[in-house]
Amino acid sequence: MRKGSIKAFNAIYRLYVRRLINYLSKATVGTQDAEEIVQDIFLYLWNHRENIDPRKSLSTLLYSWAYKRRIDIFRKRLSSPIYEDYLEYQNIISSKDNYSLEYKDFLRVFNKIIESLPSKQRQMIVMSRLKGMSNTEIAIQMGLSEKTVRNGLSAGLKILKDKLARTIDWRS
């Protein structure tokens, strides 16, 4: 492969692709994300094939790249406001019923509830929680007063939390 053999690369790809996807799918929201990351890893492998030390294990190299990407995913997820909400609800659920809500399920429910909100509240929550904008920035962009934004966010977040709690209680 170091000399550009596509056959060797394909053999390596077939040998490791499923393993790496399985390894990464535990850290990603879906297998599609894991597949994209694995594609990036193999693209990186191909583009840097001449620099690979033949004395080192290829398996170790691939898994170390995957591990680094997995850490990046966790860091990104932990800084996500939605993931913070998910963790908050996990604590509420586990203290009540020992019920575990998977993050994928939480995202599905969260997005469904967001879509059901009135459009201005939905827009405010998306701008505030997902885009990290301040109330002032939201007010300027939406042409509203900061107080209106604060009140809209407060009402929207209350609805969101109530609906999340009802959905979670219903599932238990």
Calpha distance 135→92 (Å, rounded)? 28
Give me the count of residues in the chain. 172
Average the pLDDT over 26-31 and give the result: 64
Tell me: the pLDDT tens digits for 55-106? 888 888 898 888 888 777 766 665 566 666 666 665 554 444 444 456 667 7
pLDDT at 160 exceeding the cut of 80: yes
pLDDT at 29 exceeding the cut of 60: no
Question: What is the per-residue pLDDT for 54?
Answer: 82
**Mean of per-residue pLDDT scores for the chain:** 79
Domains annotated for the chain, with CATH where assigned, are: 6-76 (no CATH), 81-171 (1.10.10.10)
Query: By three-state DSSP, how is residue 168 classified?
Result: helix
Question: What is the per-residue pLDDT for 30?
Answer: 61
Query: By three-state DSSP, how is residue 79 classified?
Result: coil
Confidence of residue 41 (pLDDT cuts 50, 70, 90): very high
The set of residues, in sequence order, having a beta carbon less than 8 Å from that of 97 and lying 6+ positions away, is: 172
What backbone phi and psi angles, to 5 degrees, belong to 69? Answer: -65, -35
Q: Do 12 and 1 form a contact (C-beta atoms < 8 A)?
A: yes
Tell me: the pLDDT tens digits for 104-133? 677 778 888 888 999 999 899 888 887 778
